[in-house]
Amino acid sequence: MQSFLIVGGGKGGKAILETLSSVDFVRVIGVVDLLSDAPAMVEARKQGIPTSADVESFLTPPPDVILEVTGRRDVLERLMSLDLPKTHVISGAIAQLMVKLVDQAWKRRQNELEAIINSTHDGMIAVNQRGEVTLFNKAAERMIGIEAGQALGRPVTQVISNTRLDYVLKQGVSELNRRQTLENGLEIITNRVPVKGQDGNVIGAVAVFRDISDIKQLTQQVLDLESMRSLLQAIINSSDDAISVVDAEGMGMLINPAYSRLTGLSPEQVIGKPAETDISEGESMHKKVLKTRQPVRGVHMKVGPHHKEVVVNVAPIIIGEELKGSVGIIHDVTELKQLNRDLERARRIIRTLEAKYTFEDIIGSSESMRHSLLQAKQAAQTRATVLLRGESGTGKELFAHAIHNASDRKYSQFVRVNCATLSETLLESELFGYEEGAFTGAKRGGKKGLFEEASGGTIFLDEIGELSLSTQAKLLRVLQEKEVLRVGGTKSIPVDVRVIAATNVYLEKAIQEKRFREDLYYRLNVLPIHIAPLRMRKEDLHDLALHLIKKFNQEYGRQVNEIDVDAIHALSQYDWPGNVRELENVLGRAMINMAFNETTMKRNHIPPLDLTRMSQPETMAAIPDTTSDKMLKDVLAEAERKHITQVYLECGQNKTETARRLGVSIRSLYYKLERYGLL
């Protein structure tokens, strides 16, 4: 720093002093004048600059420049006579001019600095040694909310209540990257540094600070975006649909685990690789969509190393106007095909499911009916063969439906075959199917039999007593081997069918008369259920009549809701040889006899009943009431079968428990269960 001595305390000296003291690269070491109250002398004292009447007192060491502004020749001559080889003596107007130039340069520099300081977004505050504000830029004005004019010259502690510049000034130690909340709530991050003079003493301090509210907001936005990203990632990852995303250049960007499961490709094999990497057959739809910017749907192709057949939907990702990539959803066609098959199966079942009735549809609270229902419900829990016995019209078919619908085969086929209505050959080809060319007129490719059709479900063999002996033999084989041999075929086809048979024939007598095979009888008679004729349970008449009337109401659009006591009495006089079917017919005719607005069925509506008609003598015999004609071994076998069946059902078909209760070994239980068709 250049040292200056001003000689001359007049107005010119004062102006020079003022200029020089505001310039930081110049140091005024003193002012010389004879008059101690000359203006420059007064100003110098104010600024703490030494004054004197004698030049000599400032010559050790000599200043760099002596500015002579007295205008007196003798003073100049004296100065020139001094032996000061290194000192420039500048006098009068030239001195004034030089100072002006210095002043202009300084001001220019000052303006430049100010422009820089004010154009920065960082706030700047400087204080001098006394802690007074010497710099307060525009950004500081904005952040602190006061104008520079109100801050400059004031102690910084009065301008900013929680300032630490005074502390930095005192301690001479920097504080960097400190967070601070201003009085107006603004959050800043600030650096505070002490300013040291040449001698190393602290002569001021500066704070440079930045508003971080924006940064905080930005950080929050980034965090929000991050959590949104995680959310989307979780959704994509948990989706069962395979998803793949490529960027605008068609390079793999993202896939989800379902995609890897479906295609067999890992993220490493796809991400950053061209879109067609995963395709084993077909054109890349990602590429097409990126080219056309149009979505595509339902395109078939094969993907991955296993050539998985898939259908893809791909859509472009356009943000604003810009194409950012495309997203594809890939569906496994094998799954769709399976679904289709399931649907087709369900349709087929609905089409052929003939088991319309459930136990709810069976009316009757008589002792015998309750017993039959209990047996049937228990039978539904097993897969054992059921033999329904009862006269015609007692509800055997109804029971067969209900058993099937209460069993675990309810969603599979229920196939009904009336063994009495078809000729022997026709029945066989119907039951067991035939091979191509088995007989003239046989369909090409052969035909499945009803046993095969019913596989997985139930076959209801109605009127089993009418089967020919040769068909009986074939049926026995199916029941024993659980496989069928098509007519004209040589290969056995396994079938898993539950058999429910029904008869109104006295089978035991048929066996004696050699019309029915005994071994088949045992195979069928695993769980016999007897349904009593209506004449033996007339207490069911009222409920049955009401139930059947309701059925007719629906059919004929009537509103009959009662049947009076007289009418019931008349019905109970009759023997009902045709059982519930006959009751149904009689009530149907009675409904026709009723006026359209009548709601109670009366005696006079009931058509005349032939009270002399006898019950069917043959069907009566369907319920064997005697065992006198049987061999002892048959009676014992029957008793054994009955008891084992009952205990087995009571034990919930638990074999260990059944064996324990029967007091036999598990092995012998297995043998007996197999023998009686209970396995």
Q: Which stretch binds ligand ATP (CB under 6 A): 87-95, 180-188, 360-368, 467-475?
A: 360-368
Q: Which of 118, 113, 59 is nearest to 87 (CA)?
A: 59
CB of 487 to ligand ATP, least distance (A): 26
The number of C-alpha atoms within 13 Å of 191 and in the hemisphere containing its C-beta is 5
CB of 590 to ligand ATP, least distance (A): 16
* Helix, strand and coil percent figures for the chain, each rounded to 5: 45, 20, 30
Q: Which is nearer to ligand ATP, 163 or 375 (CB)?
A: 375
Classify 517 as helix, strand or coil.
coil
| Using rule CB under 6 A, residue 616 touches ligand ATP | no
Position among 14, 308, 383, 396 found at the interface with ligand ATP (CB under 6 A): 396
Position among 7, 398, 419, 507 found at the interface with ligand ATP (CB under 6 A): 398
Position among 43, 68, 211, 397 found at the interface with ligand ATP (CB under 6 A): 397
Contact 587, 567 (CB under 8 A): no
Residues 539-598 contacting ligand ATP, CB under 6 A: 544, 547, 580-581, 584
Q: Which is nearer to ligand ATP, 290 or 376 (CB)?
A: 376
CB of 602 to ligand ATP, least distance (A): 22
Q: Is the peptide bond before 305 cis (omega within 30 degrees of 0)?
A: no
| Using rule CB under 6 A, residue 395 touches ligand ATP | yes
What is the separation, in whole angstroms, between the first and last Cα of the chain?
117
Collect contacts of 223-231 with beta carbons under 8 A, ≥24 apart. none
Position among 5, 362, 495, 673 found at the interface with ligand ATP (CB under 6 A): 362
CB of 504 to ligand ATP, least distance (A): 5
Rounded to whole angstroms, the Cα distance separating 648 from 652 reads: 7
Q: Which of 523, 485, 521, 452 is nearest to 675 (CA)?
A: 523
CB of 675 to ligand ATP, least distance (A): 29
Q: Exposed, middle or buried: residue 37 (CB in 10 Å: 0-12, 13-18, 19+)?
A: exposed
CB of 534 to ligand ATP, least distance (A): 8
Q: What tokens were used for 39?
A: 């203006």
Q: What tokens were used for 24?
A: 């930081």
Please work out, in degrees rounded to the nearest 5, the angle formed at the alpha carbon of residue 541 by the alpha carbons of 538 and 542: 130
Position among 304, 390, 433, 457 found at the interface with ligand ATP (CB under 6 A): 390
Q: Which is nearer to ligand ATP, 12 or 577 (CB)?
A: 577
CB of 351 to ligand ATP, least distance (A): 22
Sign of the dihedral through C-alpha 575, 577, 581, 582? negative
Q: Which of 469, 461, 483, 522 is nearest to 674 (CA)?
A: 522
Number of residues that bind ligand ATP (CB under 6 A): 18
Q: Which is nearer to ligand ATP, 14 or 396 (CB)?
A: 396
Q: Which is nearer to ligand ATP, 49 or 545 (CB)?
A: 545
| Using rule CB under 6 A, residue 644 touches ligand ATP | no
Q: Which is nearer to ligand ATP, 358 or 392 (CB)?
A: 392
Position among 393, 449, 457, 533 found at the interface with ligand ATP (CB under 6 A): 393
Whole-angstrom CA distances from 299 to 245, 282, 283, 323, 644 are 17, 9, 10, 22, 61
Neighbours of 169 (CB within 10 A): 21
Sheet holding 527-531, edge to edge: 414-418, 458-462, 498-503, 386-390, 527-531
Rounded to whole angstroms, the Cα distance separating 136 from 156 reads: 10
| Using rule CB under 6 A, residue 462 touches ligand ATP | yes
| Using rule CB under 6 A, residue 528 touches ligand ATP | no
Show the site string, 465-504: x = touches ligand ATP by CB under 6 A, - = not: ---------------------------------------x
Residues that bind ligand ATP (CB under 6 A): 362-364, 390, 392-398, 462, 504, 544, 547, 580-581, 584
